[in-house]
């Protein structure tokens, strides 16, 4: 198995440890049917990122930065049936340029590991960002299971197998790739997460978040209360093969003036097996999402809304399978892959939204063929900082099993 750990990509001078990396996926996706019973085929350069990490004073101070270039390479989003968020529907939205810029301080305490993190990044809620999981296609539950691209102030405490995090952040989600948020709403939302690692490679997570008006910048939209629970297992099966299992459940309750308006749920399971340079991975997902008014571009919904209504809700039952083969070249790797998805759509609010009329079928197939390119440092986890990260020494290489070159 080729391993990035051999690639230093670092300039270590005295107490300063600098590492950089890059990541991108070039691919062609075909969706059958897209909206209006049309077959859609589009090329993408997706998940294009420049990564940086600075460690000072033996890790007492760390700075993690991710410059996401999807605003340039993916301005109209990426076809992804079932995805919804930030005004995109059945497409994944491009992330903001300033995806992460988080500083972490680690006071040296004897009994516990305590870190304070601040900057723009992930709130302590839910599970890892899909970008560091085995699949290219985002699941439909991205906005139910992660809270990202916010100004965050958080503390993480780890003792033995248990870590606890809590953080304050701004509730408003980005309005476009160049949106850097602003501090006027900082602190109107909060989240907390507990993680238990009872055995090597095993991680249990539970978290709660209150988010004020994520979809309405001025702060007067529906509020969200979110729950997430997950289990994650990574094990080496042999010196040359690893296995990964992941199960998560998430609920998002939307409230208007304290009164519950909508509930959306998600159950998702992933498994991956990596014998040598090969990876095979399988994902099942069952997620509900709102069906909203669409704009002249049917892959877009208005933000902000003009009132507090939706058309209805649909449940997306999705199976995704991927096979990839990694080739290492010095400190870089390329991994050709093919990924299939099948979406089965159910209307769950009384047959008001008719998937057959809208898409042409309740069954949508998609296939993506492409190459994942990595160079230098990669994120070991995306969505955790400081003491919330696993303490195991093998994780210090800034790589993680699920993110290793496939």
Partner 1 sequence: MTQSTRLALALPLVTLTVLTACDKNPVANDTPVDPTVPINMPTLGRGLEGSRFTAEIAVRNGFVYTTTWSQRFAQGNTVFTWEAGGVPFLADSTRIEDATTLGDVQISDDGNLLVVATERVPGRIVIFDRSRTDLLVELSQFHSPETDQGVHTAKLGRVGGRHYAFLSIDPGNNEPPRLVIVDITDPANPTQVFARAMGLPFMHDVFVRDGILFTAEWDDGLGIWDIGGGGKGGTVQDPVQISNIHTVNGNVHNVWWFHDPTTGEKRYAFVGEEGAGFAVGSSSSGDIHAVDISDIENPREVAYFHVPGAGTHNFTMDESSGILYAAYYNGGVRAIDVRGDLSVCPDGARAADGRCNMRLAGREAGKALTDGSPTVSIWGVALEGHRLFASDMLSGIWVFDISDLER
User: Which residues contact partner 1 (rule: CB under 8 A)?
Assistant: 175, 198-199, 202-204, 206, 216-218, 220-222, 227, 229-233, 245, 247-249, 251, 254-257, 259-263, 293-296, 298, 302-304, 306-313, 349-350, 352-354, 357-358
Comparison of 4 and 359: residue with beta carbon closer to partner 1: 359
Least distance (Å) between residue 301 CB and partner 1: 10
Least distance (Å) between residue 111 CB and partner 1: 26
Comparison of 128 and 398: residue with beta carbon closer to partner 1: 128
Comparison of 101 and 247: residue with beta carbon closer to partner 1: 247
- Residue 309 phi, psi (nearest 5): -120, 160
Comparison of 17 and 305: residue with beta carbon closer to partner 1: 305
Which DSSP symbol is given to 200? T
Residue with token string 């090597």? 200
Residue 248's nearest CA partner among 139, 126, 85 is 126
Least distance (Å) between residue 175 CB and partner 1: 5
Least distance (Å) between residue 216 CB and partner 1: 6
> Rounded to an integer, what distance in angstroms lies between the CA atom of residue 34 and that of residue 361?
9
Least distance (Å) between residue 150 CB and partner 1: 17
Comparison of 44 and 264: residue with beta carbon closer to partner 1: 264
| DSSP SS3 for 256 | strand
> Rounded to an integer, what distance in angstroms lies between the CA atom of residue 145 and that of residue 227?
8
| DSSP SS3 for 180 | coil
Comparison of 255 and 340: residue with beta carbon closer to partner 1: 255
Token pair of 75 as six digits? 């301005």
Going by C-beta distance under 8 Å and a sequence separation of 6 or more, which residues neighbour residue 209? 123, 125, 126, 147, 189, 190, 191, 192, 224, 225, 226, 228
Token pair of 63 as six digits? 């700075």
Residue 220's nearest CA partner among 265, 188, 187, 183 is 188
Residue 221's nearest CA partner among 311, 86, 125 is 86
Least distance (Å) between residue 364 CB and partner 1: 18
Token pair of 230 as six digits? 């997950």
Least distance (Å) between residue 393 CB and partner 1: 21
For 160-258, list the strands marked E by DSSP. Answer: 162-169, 189-199, 202-211, 223-238, 241-256
Token pair of 220 as six digits? 């007067």
Comparison of 205 and 279: residue with beta carbon closer to partner 1: 205
Least distance (Å) between residue 303 CB and partner 1: 6
Comparison of 192 and 261: residue with beta carbon closer to partner 1: 261
Comparison of 236 and 329: residue with beta carbon closer to partner 1: 236
On whether the CB atoms of residues 87 and 171 are closer than 8 A, the answer is no
Least distance (Å) between residue 198 CB and partner 1: 6
On whether the CB atoms of residues 225 and 112 are closer than 8 A, the answer is no
């Amino acid at each position: 198995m080729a391993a990035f750990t051999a690639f230093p990509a670092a300039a270590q001078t005295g107490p300063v440890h600098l590492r950089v990396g890059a990541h991108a996926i070039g691919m062609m996706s075909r969706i059958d049917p897209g909206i209006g019973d049309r077959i859609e085929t589009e090329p993408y350069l997706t998940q294009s990122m420049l990564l940086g990490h600075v460690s000072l004073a033996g890790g007492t101070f760390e700075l993690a930065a991710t410059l996401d270039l999807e605003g340039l390479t993916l301005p109209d989003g990426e076809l992804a049936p079932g995805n919804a968020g930030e005004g995109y529907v059945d497409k994944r939205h491009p992330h903001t340029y300033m995806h992460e810029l988080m500083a972490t301080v680690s006071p040296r305490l004897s009994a516990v590991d305590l870190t304070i993190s601040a900057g723009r990044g992930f709130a302590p809620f839910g599970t890892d960002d899909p970008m560091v999981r085995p699949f290219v296609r985002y699941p439909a539950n991205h906005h139910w299971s992660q809270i990202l691209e916010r100004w965050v102030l958080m503390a993480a405490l780890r003792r033995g197998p248990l870590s606890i995090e809590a953080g304050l952040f701004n509730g408003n989600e980005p309005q476009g790739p160049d949106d850097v948020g602003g501090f006027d709403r900082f602190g109107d939302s909060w989240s907390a997460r507990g993680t238990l690692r009872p055995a090597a490679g095993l991680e249990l997570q539970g978290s709660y978040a209150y988010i004020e008006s994520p979809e309405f910048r001025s702060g007067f939209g529906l509020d969200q209360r979110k729950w997430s629970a997950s289990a994650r297992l990574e094990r080496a099966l042999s010196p040359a093969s690893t296995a990964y299992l992941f199960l998560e459940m998430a609920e998002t309750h939307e409230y208007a003036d304290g009164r519950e308006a909508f509930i959306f749920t998600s159950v998702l399971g992933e498994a991956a097996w990596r014998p040598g340079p090969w990876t095979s991975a399988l994902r099942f997902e069952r997620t509900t999402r709102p069906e909203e008014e669409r704009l002249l571009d049917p892959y877009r919904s208005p933000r902000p809304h003009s009132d507090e209504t939706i058309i209805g809700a649909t449940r997306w039952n999705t199976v995704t399978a991927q096979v990839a083969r990694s080739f290492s070249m010095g400190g870089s790797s390329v991994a050709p892959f093919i990924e299939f998805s099948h979406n089965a759509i159910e209307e769950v609010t009384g047959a008001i939204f008719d998937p057959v009329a809208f898409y042409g079928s309740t069954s949508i197939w998609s296939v993506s063929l492409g190459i994942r390119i990595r160079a230098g440092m990669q994120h070991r986890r995306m969505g955790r900082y400081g003491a919330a990260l696993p303490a195991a020494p093998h994780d210090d290489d800034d790589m993680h099993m699920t993110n290793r070159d496939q």
